[in-house]
Structure 1
Amino acid sequence: MTLTFFDQFLSPTCLGIPLVLVALTLPWLLFPTPTNRWLNGRLLALQGWAITRFTSQLLMPVNLGGHKWATFFVSLMMFLITLNMLGLLPYTFTPTTQLSLNLGLAVPLWLSTVIVGMRNQPTHALGHLLPEGTPTLLIPILIIIETISLFIRPLALGVRLTANLTAGHLLIQLISTAVFVLLPLMPTVAITTGIILFMLTLLEVAVAMIQAYVFVLLLSLYLQENI
């Protein structure tokens, strides 16, 4: 049976059991854990430095009330980066290319920021639906527009992550297929295409990290509006 380019995004199953649960659980085992030694190894030191830099950059525009979310944001960031990076390895599955999974992450997290705003400062949270100084005739229209934009936020979070990773994986597969086809026919062109494929793979590594950062950064901005 001839496979299509989109078959790589199908959720694999074993005995009718979806293996996406394994793909979501296994990455946590790959992180180095702290030891009782006086000095940590290079990998632990690098991980600690990266977490510290990410936390300082992420929480810089957030009020003190949102700093309690730091541990959760860092954990989510590392989790998404690991899933995105492991999906670039051969014979692996990228769970974050599934829109259902991304929406399952985006909707509850976005809703939690909205609930925090409605509980702590309901007047300020509802004030985002109507900018100050709006003419009376435009009030109903602006309320509808702002409400729609509010409910579109989780959809934008999930679709952005899914679209960027899916497009990158498709492009890598298309170019790699071209390399294998052109290798016996035009070796020079195939080698040039292989170099482009290598550079694209490096770009996808950067995209996998950037998209995880953008996902968490937007959540922190949504939280900032409700604190």
Structure 2
Amino acid sequence: MTLSFFDQFLSPVYLGLPLIILALSLPWVLFPKPTTRWLSSRLLTLQNCFINSFVRQIFQPLNPGSHKWAALLTSLMLFLITLNMLGLLPYTFTPTTQLSLNMAFAVPLWLATVIIGMRHQPTHSLGHLLPEGTPTLLIPILIIIETISLFIRPLALGVRLTANLTAGHLLIQLIATAVFVLLPLMPTIAFLTATLLLLLTLLEVAVAMIQAYVFVLLLSLYLQENS
């Protein structure tokens, strides 16, 4: 029995084992594997076209040295999209509604971009902390503000993904509950509410894909800034 609307975001446990491990390993089974055949299946061809267009759009502004990140960010993009989409199915769990998991994705990747910037061009990276032409009196304040904004980036990445998915799931559950309550009382209103629920579900599918894209896009922008 569901005691709260937020119970759906609790990490499920079965026989003392967290099922989030199964949820994280399952998405890779759903993707078609490349083959050595001359002709690929339609699904594999569609997947390759999507990956090629994504890589071209994300990495075109970056310098050639950053293109080694293509495999990592593309895998992360597909992984997040799959987790977000599977979480919309009934009786499933969305791991990306857990802030701890999203921060585990965001912090190491953001830190890697910062380390790359400090290693290859430390002057340029440190120059972001102090804009050119700053008055002398404002230098300490701006350095503190820019430092805080730098360290707030991984938190913003994780919170953005968590908040958008959590809000969408809560809204869907609230409207679905309203449909079940109104169905025996006011069938016409219940039908209109169910139509709204269908439209909201379609919107949530778009949000699931867009949020995964935004997560990877912001990481690529951080990489562009430090490479």
Structure-2 separation of matches of 1:91 and 1:196: 21
Please list the CA deviations of residues 30-50 of structure 1 after superposition, one character each: whole Å capped at 9, or x if unmatched. 101112221111111110111
The equivalent residue for 1:15 is 15
CA RMSD of aligned residues (A): 0.8
Which residues of structure 2 form unaligned runs of 5+?
none
The equivalent residue for 2:107 is 107
Q: CA deviation at 1:17?
A: 1.2
Structure-1 separation of matches of 2:160 and 2:48: 28
Amino acid paired to 1:97: T
For 1:1-227, what aligned pairs fall within 5 Å after superposition? Answer: 3-227=3-227
Could you list the structure 1 runs, at least 4 aligned residues long, displaced by more than 6 angstroms after superposition.
Answer: none
Structure-1 separation of matches of 2:5 and 2:83: 20
What TM-score do you get using the length of structure 2 for normalisation?
0.98
Structure-2 separation of matches of 1:2 and 1:224: 45
Q: CA deviation at 1:2?
A: 5.0
Structure-2 separation of matches of 1:102 and 1:37: 37
Amino acid paired to 2:45: A
Please list the CA deviations of residues 7-42 of structure 1 after superposition, one character each: whole Å capped at 9, or x if unmatched. 000000011111111100111111011122211111
Task: Give the number of equivalent residue pairs.
Answer: 227
What TM-score do you get using the length of structure 1 for normalisation?
0.98
Please list the CA deviations of residues 54-89 of structure 1 after superposition, one character each: whole Å capped at 9, or x if unmatched. 111111221111111011110000000000000000
Percent of paired sites with the same residue = 78
Structure-2 separation of matches of 1:32 and 1:199: 30
